Chains A and B, each alone.
Chain A
């Protein structure tokens, strides 16, 4: 199985390494060539330097025959656009898009995009943790 990860920051590189460890053939894309360092000293997957809005960069990363894509650059709108390009033009069956703004994540999720909103996740995990740790009598699940 082949995966492309667009945006190789903390999140993207972590996902890329996780997929590679799971036996996937992974290619990461980032504008900054130094992002390769985040993939560790023994990265056996692919790495393409360039912007994910550039179709030639996407094609060099092998989007044409990818089974899955993760879009996790640091820009919500960039991710939204690239995600749709990967879905509509390259017909990648599984495209997951990171969107920090909960309102936009919800808007595009309702339109059929697989979105992940770390802000929502952080809020719920933080809330849960505080409520569990708080010294108030609390019925444990």
Chain B
């Protein structure tokens, strides 16, 4: 397939190298002359110099073909957003993946229709959460377009949900319990399922309902 990579930093250069090894056709765009010179030594005509947020530059990179995939991976979130929008809305690029440098900008990407994003900080924080089970809800998967998270919750002895049938739990609107992992086995949650200490519960929850779900299953938030 044909791929346009906007941004030739560590993310862009490594993605380009891997895509080329996989046999794909790639054009990488880098604005800075110092970086371009280094990239050109390795990548030759695959790398092009220019500002990837300029429409004429994107056109020279073949955005009008259009590429099957556009990677907007510069170090600037506004640039990545604009590159993705021009590609998708202006040239019908079927798939654009944007890098989010500052996780606080994540909501802007979703709002502007760029749903496929990668954020290193959020990924690392997700791993940290997974290593610290006291943290409450561990986010396993974020479904951005749907506005849903798949989360894991460890039920503790003092949890208000212990001993209660799921049908009797006052689960907040926008949340469903999926399964319970106990004694090495996973069971799907039924209305009659009773929560026990040590249960690892999978749930699907909207962003808004997450704090209320945490409270229902674990009690008042710690720290």
Q: Are B108 and A77 in contact (CB under 8 A)?
A: no
Q: Are A104 and B81 in contact (CB under 8 A)?
A: no
CB contacts (< 8 Å) of A55 on chain B: these are 107
Q: Are B55 and A104 in contact (CB under 8 A)?
A: yes
Q: Is B123 close to A, CB under 8 A? A: no
A66–B76 CA distance with the chains assembled, in angstroms = 28
Q: Are B78 and A104 in contact (CB under 8 A)?
A: no
A85–B90 CA distance with the chains assembled, in angstroms = 19
Closest partner residue, chain B, to A84 (CB atom): B112
Question: What mask results when residues 20 to 59 of chain A are scored 1 for a CB within 8 Å of chain B, else 0?
Answer: 0000000000000000000000000000000001110000
Q: Is B77 close to A, CB under 8 A? A: yes
Q: Give B51-87 interface residues, CB cut-off 8 Å to A.
A: 53-56, 76-79, 81-82, 86
CB contacts (< 8 Å) of A103 on chain B: these are 54-56
Q: Which of B53, B107, B108 contacts A104 (CB 8 A)?
A: B53
Please judge, given known A-B contacts A55-B107, A76-B53, whether A107 and B78 are in contact too, CB under 8 Å: no
Q: Is B105 close to A, CB under 8 A? A: yes
Q: Is A111 close to B, CB under 8 A? A: yes
Interface size grouping (class) on chain A: 10 to 19
A88–B197 CA distance with the chains assembled, in angstroms = 45
Q: Are A88 and B55 in contact (CB under 8 A)?
A: no
Q: Are A77 and B76 in contact (CB under 8 A)?
A: yes
A99–B108 CA distance with the chains assembled, in angstroms = 19
27 contacts between A and B (CB under 8 A): A53-B77, A53-B78, A53-B108, A55-B107, A75-B78, A76-B82, A77-B53, A77-B76, A80-B81, A80-B82, A81-B77, A81-B78, A81-B82, A81-B108, A81-B112, A84-B111, A85-B108, A88-B112, A101-B54, A103-B54, A104-B53, A104-B54, A104-B82, A107-B55, A107-B86, A107-B90, A111-B89
Q: Are B89 and A77 in contact (CB under 8 A)?
A: no
Q: Give A93-116 interface residues, CB cut-off 8 Å to B.
A: 101, 103-104, 107, 111
A96–B54 CA distance with the chains assembled, in angstroms = 21
A80–B85 CA distance with the chains assembled, in angstroms = 11
Q: Is A67 close to B, CB under 8 A? A: no
Q: Which of B81, B90, B104, B111 contacts A77 (CB 8 A)?
A: B81
Question: What mask results when residues 80 to 116 of chain B are scored 1 for a CB within 8 Å of chain A, else 0?
Answer: 0110001001100000000000001101100110000
Q: Are A81 and B107 in contact (CB under 8 A)?
A: no
Q: How far is the CB of B115 from chain A (nearest CB, A)?
A: 14
Q: Give A73-90 interface residues, CB cut-off 8 Å to B.
A: 75-78, 80-81, 84-85, 88-89
